[in-house]
Structure 1
Amino acid sequence: MSEPAARSLDEWLRLQERLHPRSIELGLGRVRAVAQRLALPAKSIFTLAIAGTNGKGSSAHLAAGIYRAAGYSTGLYTSPHLLHYTERVQIDGAPVSEVALCRAFAAIEAARGEISLTYFEYGTLAALWLFREAGVQVQVLEVGLGGRLDAVNLVDADVALITNVGLDHQDYLGPDRESIGREKAGILRSARPAVLVERAPPDSVSAAAQTAAPALRLGRDFDYERQADGRWCWQRGETRLRELPAPGLPGAIQYQNAAGVIAAVLAGAASRPVAEEAIRKALPQLRLRGRCEIYRGLLLDVAHNLESAQVLAQQLAAQPRPRVLLLGMLSDKPVAAVAQCLAPHLQRILTVGLPGPRGLSAAALAQQLQAAGIAAQGCENMAEALQAARAALPAEGQVLVAGSFLTVAAAIEELDRHG
């Protein structure tokens, strides 16, 4: 094994995967102890924390874009990554270097002593360490799983935003929206702004938000209205932003996500003022790979649970054309529900296998779909699936890739290799 200072990023990540006996272990005790040894988190950095089942990534990227447009040095921490680990930690709109991440990991390794950390805990501490070293003025932190016991919750957020609460990660967060909402609401802090981007959030979330100041809920305290030309208006009380440009990501849900982000940014304006012009500048610049992305003629979307599949289905219905779906999913996701949601907009479903202990093989995924009454055919690999999909479609057709970050990443890598 290489010495800590000489390890490559790949070596660090392999070490982190082996270090802790469980890939996911919720709880703040271990990671907080190491953070204290590193004098983290930095108290001087303004923090926006974002939790939710879906929409966290696009919300986090938009918030970071607004703060950058307002002139603040900004750190952005999101997960998972699509193609490269460095995507997770960005400073002023650019991923940090592998060298910088290795420096952060070496500092964490030197501080942790006998304490073991999970892969995600290492990454969270590295982001906080790098943001402090860079002297950022704002950090936007996306919660990884849940909220209450997630490593991001080390930080007492100045503003907290919850995008929505759906049924995902139930093995860890609980069986229903109330249980899951209770976990996500753990990022809220008393006497600090909380933004709920659902018109009817679970009671557990509403109850937790009662101590926030203010507690802002979509439809009650702020709202938005789309116009036929794509422009839109945002309002909270007497504050109105008119004729806003459309978000740079497609889909009706992006207006809702953006409305929540605007509410959060303006709620924190006493500490980090943001001019309306910064919001107008950042909205059309929003980009995020794998979210209804057109790449080399394919439609790529990381939808992997029922709620995100419903959003994707709305987008497909709005732009009908012949489509074949290349679907790869993890074993703990609602496979049949996702496929049933998308099936009315498809000519055919081809399955591909995913790696790792949670990944379903193409054959196993096809069998699950067939058992649910959904026709599907397994493919040996992504190259075969792409070839079969293209052969089955007319000239005006489109290949859709969905089901997981891993599925979309495999498609991009195959397209980049062979087109």
Structure 2
Amino acid sequence: MDYKETIEFLYAQLPVFSRDGASAFKKDLGNTLALCAALGDPQTKFKSIHIAGTNGKGSCSHMLAAIFQEAGYKAGLYTSPHLYDFRERIRINGALCSEDFVVQFVQRIRPYLDRIQPSFFEITVVMAFCYFEQQKVDIAIIETGLGGRLDSTNVITPELSLITNIGYDHMQFLGNTLTEIAGEKAGIIKEGRPVVISEYLPETKPVFEQVAKNKHAPLFLAQNLWQMSVGVPTISTGNKQEPLLTICVRRKNNDSEITQIHPMALADIYQLDLNGSYQLKNIVGVLEAVHQLRSLGWNIEKEALRKGLKRVKELTGIAGRWDQVSTDPWIITDVGHNVDGIKMIRNQLSKMKYSKLHIITGFVKDKDVSASLKEMPKNAQYYFTQAPIPRALSAVELKALALKFELEGNDYPNMKEALAAARANYKNGDLILVCGSVFLVAEVKDSMRQLNIIA
């Protein structure tokens, strides 16, 4: 099989969560461990950092990968899902894994498929482990797919674990309360290994403290440890590239220190090329993770940290995080799709200036779509559509549901037609925002190409 045939084989033969939903979710690590064992336990052959959280884990993973790369390390990065190319899931220093490796790996594991019956995600996780072992990475940043405790990635023993935040998502698998969800995410905490929490809530803090205590794992609550002053620029039009987010930070001596410091007196100034003020919640966790990694012997100078944060997009290829993909018309994409994600988007919109807001959106049907729609801006023209996957909520159903929350617009069968309609209604100074399902955002660039919209 060539590369294209190999990818088609993986999608056709195996349970895929993005396509099949709950039936593809395995509630134990047995398959992953069995496949790893058959291949010589590659997960034990490289050092790693493990990242979980409801929102922000992808951004944090890419930030850390960029920082390690600027520090001179060979940095692997595993994330999911991909937007455009399957190989986006597995990178080393920003470069996609080779097509030949994907083909050879699938051929290598075919004798085990009938016996183990792994899912698509389980295979991609082990594929990443084998690639990182083969390429002898210095460190691999591993993002969980869903949850933590039972996630297929949770067979590694990392240098450090990072949990970004806890919110309502995937409740059918993780629990219906923030306490239950936190318990699942805290499952990535390992015996004696430090864990950083970017953001906690009154309901989730005791969970992290108890699990860390049980695991004898040093616990660091980043939001208590960093003071921050931020300049978030107001964007007047879509004719200019968004400026970098400038952040002044200072680490406290301890989490009880309270100090009033003028922003210009703060010790360090960084710029981040990931747009969206919600990144502020993520960066404190990244900064604390770097602080702890230095204490473990990793050589990460301030200049590497500064350069890495300033060039995350360039170094890692991350996409879909408040990305300006066109200036005429002005189009921004964001993969925010749950309640907290939509709240962050709404907050970002409040800092921007535009004449009229056009929102193209779509969701998968096994999410709490009503809860997300409730948080969507009402002062917008909506274009309800759907991604080309079986899990997608139909555009017609989405429109009917959205009307209950006073969101007005029309339904379109696919992204191309929705984008064409938004462009037809667009006037200079307007903003077109595409948000919701990752699989919907993945359709934007191809639709732009078909409609001759220049990036």
Same fold (TM over 0.5): yes
Give the partner amino acid of 2:227: Y
Distance in 2 separating the partners of 1:135 and 1:218: 31
Q: How does 1:35-114 map to 2 (within 5 A)?
A: 35-111=36-112, 114=115
Give the partner amino acid of 2:334: D
Contact 1:31/1:117 (8 A) holds in 2: yes
Q: How does 1:388-399 map to 2 (within 5 A)?
A: 388-399=421-432
Instruction: Please state how far the C-alpha of 1:278 moved relative to its aligned partner.
Output: 1.1
Matched, 1:283 2:309: yes
Task: Specify whether residues 234 and 256 from structure 1 end up closer, same or farther in structure 2 by C-alpha distance, changes over 3 A only.
Answer: farther
Matched, 1:259 2:284: yes
Q: 1:207 — aligned with what? A: 210
Matched, 1:324 2:361: no
Task: Specify whether residues 267 and 335 from structure 1 end up closer, same or farther in structure 2 by C-alpha distance, changes over 3 A only.
Answer: same
Contact 1:59/1:258 (8 A) holds in 2: yes
- The alignment partner of 1:255 has SS state of helix
Contact 1:32/1:154 (8 A) holds in 2: yes
Which range moved further: 42-51 or 332-341? 332-341
Q: 2:235 — aligned with what? A: none
- The alignment partner of 2:116 has SS state of coil
Q: How large is the RMSD of aligned CA atoms in angstroms? A: 2.4
Instruction: Please state how far the C-alpha of 1:76 moved relative to its aligned partner.
Output: 0.3
Give the partner amino acid of 2:299: P
Contact 1:352/1:362 (8 A) holds in 2: yes
The partner residue of 2:343 within 279, 299, 310 is 310
Q: 1:405 — aligned with what? A: 438
Distance in 1 separating the partners of 2:306 and 2:266: 9
Q: 2:381 — aligned with what? A: 348
Task: Specify whether residues 180 and 236 from structure 1 end up closer, same or farther in structure 2 by C-alpha distance, changes over 3 A only.
Answer: same
Distance in 2 separating the partners of 1:289 and 1:380: 24
Q: How does 1:158-197 map to 2 (within 5 A)?
A: 158-197=159-198
Matched, 1:143 2:144: yes
Q: 1:219 — aligned with what? A: 223
Instruction: Please state how far the C-alpha of 1:72 moved relative to its aligned partner.
Output: 0.9
Give the partner amino acid of 2:306: R
The partner residue of 2:323 within 281, 289, 293 is 293
Distance in 1 separating the partners of 2:266 and 2:94: 25
Instruction: Please state how far the C-alpha of 1:234 moved relative to its aligned partner.
Output: 3.5
Contact 2:69/2:93 (8 A) holds in 1: yes
Distance in 2 separating the partners of 1:338 and 1:332: 12
Contact 1:69/1:281 (8 A) holds in 2: yes
Q: Normalising to structure 2: TM-score of the pair?
A: 0.85
- The alignment partner of 2:117 has SS state of coil
Q: Normalising to structure 1: TM-score of the pair?
A: 0.93
Matched, 1:242 2:267: yes
- The alignment partner of 2:166 has SS state of coil
Number of positions where the alignment pairs a residue of Structure 1 with one of Structure 2: 415
Contact 2:415/2:443 (8 A) holds in 1: yes
Instruction: Please state how far the C-alpha of 1:320 moved relative to its aligned partner.
Output: 3.1
Distance in 2 separating the partners of 1:353 and 1:336: 16
Task: Specify whether residues 381 and 37 from structure 1 end up closer, same or farther in structure 2 by C-alpha distance, changes over 3 A only.
Answer: closer
Task: Specify whether residues 73 and 235 from structure 1 end up closer, same or farther in structure 2 by C-alpha distance, changes over 3 A only.
Answer: same
Structure 1's unaligned 5+ residue stretches are none
Matched, 1:377 2:407: no
Contact 1:328/1:360 (8 A) holds in 2: yes
Q: 2:368 — aligned with what? A: 334
Distance in 2 separating the partners of 1:242 and 1:232: 7
Give the partner amino acid of 2:371: A
Give the partner amino acid of 2:302: E
Q: Percent identity?
A: 30
Task: Specify whether residues 271 and 46 from structure 1 end up closer, same or farther in structure 2 by C-alpha distance, changes over 3 A only.
Answer: farther
Distance in 2 separating the partners of 1:70 and 1:363: 50
Instruction: Please state how far the C-alpha of 1:97 moved relative to its aligned partner.
Output: 1.7
Contact 2:6/2:106 (8 A) holds in 1: no
Give the partner amino acid of 2:220: L
